[in-house]
Structure 1
Amino acid sequence: MTSIGLPRVGAARRQVALWSWRKIWLKTHLWLGLALGLFLSVIGLTGSALVFFQEIDQALNPQLRIVTAPPEGRTAWRPLEEIADAARGAIPAESYLGWTYWPQKDDQAFLFYYRVDNPQSGKPDTRQVFVDPYTLKVTGTRVWHSSTNLFDDAFVAFLFKLHYAMLVSGIGDVTVGIIAILAFVSTVTGVVLWWPRNGKWRNAFSVKWPARSERLNYDIHRLAGLFLAPVALAVLLSGVHFNLPEQFKAVVELFSTLTQPERYRSAASGSNPVTLDEAVANATKAFPDARIYAVTMPKPHDGAYTVNQLFPIGWGLEGRRTIYIDQFRGDILQANDPLSGDGDGFIQWQWPLHSGYVYGWPGRIAVFLFGLSWPLLFVTGVIRWLQKRRAQSVAKERRVNVQSPSG
């Protein structure tokens, strides 16, 4: 009898342990969802819009961003240094040029980001200058980020602030980074709760139909979270990288050494810096398989050019490569490649994953749908919680009525 009873006791104990852990996962998932749901809905909706921020901004401001391209296309561009000079002439001389978005189509303007001192705030504004690469005409300038008035920001810039900092200066980006970590935990607990313990995988992926509204709400919540879970984990992890970069890199360095961009210094030289044309040509010669997405100009004295390229990896995937170029010699100081297999390569994956560019248009649409899923998950989760509370309340009343002596 003892030998028969022990396995049964052991199985019962395992069932109790599994049920206890399930209750912990359920409570964690519930309270994280209720506490963060509204914030995640805002972050998700703005993130969905920002997947297409270039397209939205272009649609709202065609006079700034659209130019007339000749039949020969970008082969008719004026020299890059002349394009950059045209932008410099439209901005105060003491302004600092940050980075430049490269036109991805023949009929698009170059987009330069400058930091311009604002005497009212004592802080710099971010201003944009748009230049026609064929005629060198400045198609316009505008404030991107204002240091005095949030509502002076460009519309898309306002969405960015709402997305990554909830419009709160100083601690907003840190707070959103913490929210991303907690949302990552919530997503993992959701997958654990969904996992079919009985092995009935077909039921785990199906919607019961026809069904009562309670069951339909549950299935929508369960499957919306499930199908977008891989996208969620990638986007949330990369979101932590952008909002908590130092902490994220510190964790990565536990597994692989990272090189610091500030170490990529141009060699001191009495000669003139190489031109933008030469720097870009050197990057393109070394890596001809890619197209340029953005360029950051070197800081004075010993800074380096930073060239960001997008290139096909295979299987429809696209990666981002970051190349650092000596501003005096034109030599490539470092090229961080997502295929390198080290910590630097892992960091290079974060932007393509977060934006969806890693898989082109399908990837961007997947990230777009993931952002829309947050308000859906929040609403269906709250409905599910209220349904359970109502059912528990009814059950409690019934127990009280059964236990009460009849009159």
Structure 2
Amino acid sequence: MFAYCSGIGQTVPLSAKAGFCAGKGIMTARGWRVRPFLAKVHRYAGLGMALFLIVSGLTGALLAFYHELDQALNPGLFRVQERRTAALGPDALVAAVQKAYPNTQVSFLALHRADRESVHVRLSPGNQSADGKPNVPDIDEVYLDPYDGRILGGRQTDALRADRIHLMPFLYGLHRSMHLPERWGVWLMGLVALTWMFDCLVGVYLTLPSYRNPKTSACRTVGYSTERNWRQRWKPAWLIKRGAGAPRLNFDLHRAGGLWLWGMLFTLAMSGAYFNLAQEVFRPVVSLFGTLSPNPVQALPKRSGVQPAPQLSFEAAIERARTLLPEQARGMQPDFVGYMPAQGVYRVGFQEQGRGESAFILGFEQVFVDADTSQLRGRRGYGSGTPSDKFLAWQFPLHSGQVLGLPGRIVVCITGLATVMLSITGVLIWNRKRKSRGRAAQPVSR
């Protein structure tokens, strides 16, 4: 059966499956309902996220080169004079830190460093004081001369200060939580990341060719009349029109930029959701598709009260952890060691040579050793993990760009700047349409 379309003066199929005539070409009923709705979703989700994505994009572009920028800003913290004498061992370095900062605990001691580079140490609160409250240190990050244990300087990484020594940690806090108190900022940015993931899917759908012929605005014959195939009709969405005016250029930058970088944008959104909502959302969802090994950091039971000093030294813990490595990780080098007083265990990290510097080198293993009995309390690694564990292990290299080494970090930096551009152009598109609708709604004076 056929019906006459009064809007264009043509006969068209009456079947709902075939479509209907809306005066602007044939469009299926499904497309007519879904596309305008998703356009509104994209518009208002983008507006709601714009400020957060601008901040996240700018800070993320800089954080791709966190270490290099931090070194350039604070050479006194990072650079040391190379000497012919041997560097101090972990126990001597820890003793130097504990002497300078009593009532603290070394939670991270870097074991791998470049030439002429200092040793990086992180501090956590030590045993509880007499009033039952933890001894919170004034600083939580320290840098040492590896040859004599001299303290080169330190800082409080969550301080709301943007001076030279605190700038990079300040940008990291802004990127991850907007410096909002407790977990509120982390949850907020995690929600933004989830919304961004969904909006990436909506955005790419809206660039697809509509169900009608884009070259005509009328139903030409019975059924569809397509002059170009689907791929050809999608091609303009990937291009920026030469010599176009500002509104068209702005629109093309938003649409084409989002398409060309879609894979990176979605990847950054997904990995961002992992970092901020790992326990709340990401791990439960991933566990639906495969087995996840428990993370010993969260799974190991915690002890209460004032904890005694560990029986095992840092150096002994490293050597013991080396013997507990799984077979596939035997050739890995120690990367860091730290003590977890609440659990009473040492955490020793090993990594494959070149990890974070060369492309597709992801191997790592963490061994948890009992600080009193030297028994194995847990393991976590890439090679020894399940497929789901490996999927989670990919998130940091993908988010930071380290999965491809230096080229990957450059791509992440460019994508961060592009995210700022896409957010700004999206707001400009909305503002122009808002003004156009306002002018159209004004009564015409006679």
TM-score over 0.5 for the alignment? Answer: yes
Amino acid at match of 1:199: R
Aligned residues of 1:164 and 1:173 also touching (Cα < 8 A): yes
In 2, the alpha carbon distance for the partners of 1:294 and 1:284 equals: 17
SS in 1 for 2:153: strand
Deviation at 1:209, TM superposition (A): 0.7
Number of the residue aligned with 2:347: 305
The answer to whether structure 1 residue 145 and structure 2 residue 152 are counterparts is: no
- 340-349 or 202-211, larger mean C-alpha shift: 340-349
Matches within 5 A, 1:235-314: 235-247=268-280, 248-258=282-292, 259-261=294-296, 262-263=298-299, 272-273=312-313, 275-279=316-320, 281-282=322-323, 287=329, 290=332, 293-299=335-341, 302-307=344-349, 309=351
Matched, 1:114 2:123: yes
Q: Does 1:382 align with 2:427?
A: yes
* CA deviation vs aligned residue, 1:138-158 (integer Å, no higher than 9, x gap): 322333335xx6679822222
User: Which secondary structure state, in structure 2, belongs to the residue aligned with residue 246 of structure 1?
Assistant: helix
Instruction: Look up the match of 1:124.
Output: 136
2:404 maps to: 359
1:316 aligns with 2:329: no
Cα separation, 1, equivalents of 2:343 and 2:435: 68
1:337 deviation in Å? 0.7
Which whole-Å deviations, capped at 9, do the CAs of 1:340-361 have from their partners, x for residues lacking one? Answer: 4532222212211221111111
Q: Which digits, 9 at most, give the CA deviation of each residue in 1:246-269, with x for residues without a partner?
A: 112222222233223144689xxx
1:79 is matched with 89
Unaligned runs of 5+ in 1: none
Give distance in 2, aligned partners of 1:289 and 1:219.
Answer: 51
Is contact 1:33-1:381 (8 Å) kept? yes
1:29 is matched with which residue? Answer: 42
With over 3 angstroms needed to count, the CA separation of the structure-2 counterparts of 1:79 and 1:62, relative to structure 1, is same
Percent identity, aligned pairs only, is 27
Would you say the 8 A contact 2:253–2:425 is kept in 1? yes
SS at match of 1:145: coil
Q: Match for residue 213 of structure 1?
A: 246
Question: In 2, distance between residues paired with 1:358 and 1:165?
Answer: 24
Q: Deviations over 1:103-123 (max 9, x none)?
A: 44212111111124799x977
Q: TM-score, normalised by structure 1?
A: 0.82
For residues 313-332 of structure 1, give each alpha carbon's deviation from its aligned partner in whole angstroms, at most 9, with x where no partner exists: 99932325241232444758
Distance 1:45 1:253 in 2: 33
Flag structure 2 segments of 5+ consecutive residues without an equivalent.
Answer: 3-10, 21-26, 211-229, 303-309
Quote the residue 2:75 is aligned against.
62
Verify the 8 A CA contact 1:279 1:325 in the aligned structure 2: no
Query: SS at 2:243's partner residue?
Result: coil
Q: Displacement of 1:396 after TM fit?
A: 5.1
With over 3 angstroms needed to count, the CA separation of the structure-2 counterparts of 1:301 and 1:206, relative to structure 1, is: closer
Residue from 124, 137, 146 that aligns with 1:133: 146
Q: Counterpart amino acid of 2:338?
A: T
Aligned length: 391
Measured at CA, do residues 290 and 228 of structure 1 come closer, stay the same or move farther in structure 2, by a change above 3 Å? farther
1:11 alignment partner, SS class: coil
CA distances 1:26-56 after superposition (whole Å, capped 9, x unpaired): 1111001111101221122112222222112
Partner of 1:40: 53
Query: What is the Cα deviation at residue 135 of structure 1?
Result: 3.6
Work out whether residues 109 and 119 of structure 2, in 8 Å CA contact, stay in contact via their aligned partners in 1.
Answer: yes
Residue 359 of structure 1 aligns to a residue whose secondary structure is helix
Compare the two structures and name the one with the higher helix fraction: 1
Q: Is the 8 A contact 1:290 1:312 kept in 2?
A: no
Aligned residues of 1:224 and 1:373 also touching (Cα < 8 A) = yes
Q: 1:95: how far off?
A: 0.6
Q: State the AA in 2 paired with 1:309.
A: Q
Partner of 2:181: 169
TM-score (norm 2): 0.76
Work out the CA distance in 2 between the residues paired with 1:137 and 1:278.
25
Instruction: For 2:31 and 2:287, locate their aligned partners in 1 and report how far apart those are by CA, in whole Å.
Output: 35
Deviation at 1:8, TM superposition (A): 5.6
Contact 1:100–1:112 (CA<8 Å) still a contact in 2? yes
Structure 2 SS opposite 1:275 = helix
What is the DSSP-based 3-state SS (H/G/I as helix, E as strand, rest coil) of the residue aligned with 1:180? Answer: helix
After TM superposition, the structure 1 stretch with the greater mean CA deviation from structure 2, 158-167 or 200-209, is 200-209
Q: Which residue of 2 aligns with 1:159?
A: 171
Secondary structure of 1:353's counterpart equals helix
